[in-house]
Amino acid sequence: MNLRIVLSLVTILAWVTVGAVFVFESDTGSEDSGPNLPYFYTLAPDDIRSIGIETPLGETEFQFRPAERVWYFADLQDIPVSHNRFGGMTYLLGGPRIQRVLVEEVTDDSLFGLSEPDLIVDVKLRDGSVVAMELGNLTPNGEGQYARMVGFPQMVLVDSSWGSVISRLVEEPPYPDWRYEMDPTLVTEILFFEGNEVVRGIAFHDDQGWVECDIPVQNEVPCAGTTPINFDGLKLWLDHMAAPQFRGVAQVARNAEDASAEIFGITPESPYLDIRIETPTRPGVINVTHVTISIGNESEDGFGIYVRTMEQADIAEVEIQWGRQVLEFFTDRTFVDE
Domain ranges of the chain: 27-171, 184-329
Which of 28-37, 135-144, 210-219, 276-285 has the lowest average pLDDT?
Answer: 28-37
pLDDT exceeds cutoff 80 at 5: no
Class at the top of the CATH hierarchy for domain 184-329: mainly beta
The DSSP secondary structure of 247-298, one letter per residue, reads EEEEE--SSGGG--GGGGT-STTSEEEEEEEEEEEETTEEEEEEEEEEEEEE
Phi, psi (rounded to 5 degrees) for 11: -65, -45
Return the closest-CA partner of residue 76 out of 154, 5, 175: 175
Residue 2 banded pLDDT, cuts 50, 70, 90: low
pLDDT exceeds cutoff 50 at 13: no
Residue 19 banded pLDDT, cuts 50, 70, 90: very low
Please state whether 311 falls in left (phi above 0), alpha (psi between -120 and 50) or beta.
left
pLDDT exceeds cutoff 90 at 108: no
Residue type, 118: D
Pair 311, 15: CB distance under 8 Å:
yes
Mean pLDDT of 18-26: 26
Mean pLDDT of 106-113: 83
pLDDT exceeds cutoff 80 at 96: no
Q: What's the pLDDT score for residue 39?
A: 59
Helices (H) and strands (E) in the chain, counts: 6, 17
- State the number of CA atoms in the 13 A half-sphere of 14 facing the CB: 20
Computed over every residue of the chain, the mean pLDDT equals 86
Neighbours of 66 (CB within 10 A): 9
The DSSP secondary structure of 178-212, one letter per residue, reads TS----GGGEEEEEEEETTEEEEEEEEETTTEEEE
Q: What's the pLDDT score for residue 118?
A: 94
Helix (H) or strand (E) holding 227: strand 227-228
Return the closest-CA partner of residue 268 out of 304, 324, 308, 314: 308
pLDDT exceeds cutoff 80 at 7: no
Quote the DSSP letter at residue 224: P
Phi, psi (rounded to 5 degrees) for 163: -65, -35
pLDDT exceeds cutoff 90 at 22: no
Mean pLDDT of 171-193: 96
Helix (H) or strand (E) holding 167: helix 160-171
Residue 238 banded pLDDT, cuts 50, 70, 90: very high
Angle 132-134-137 from CA coordinates, rounded to 5° = 170
Q: What's the pLDDT score for residue 111?
A: 83
Alpha helices (runs of H) in 73-145, residue ranges in sequence order:
83-86, 89-93
> Who has greater pLDDT, 8 or 286?
286
pLDDT exceeds cutoff 90 at 172: yes
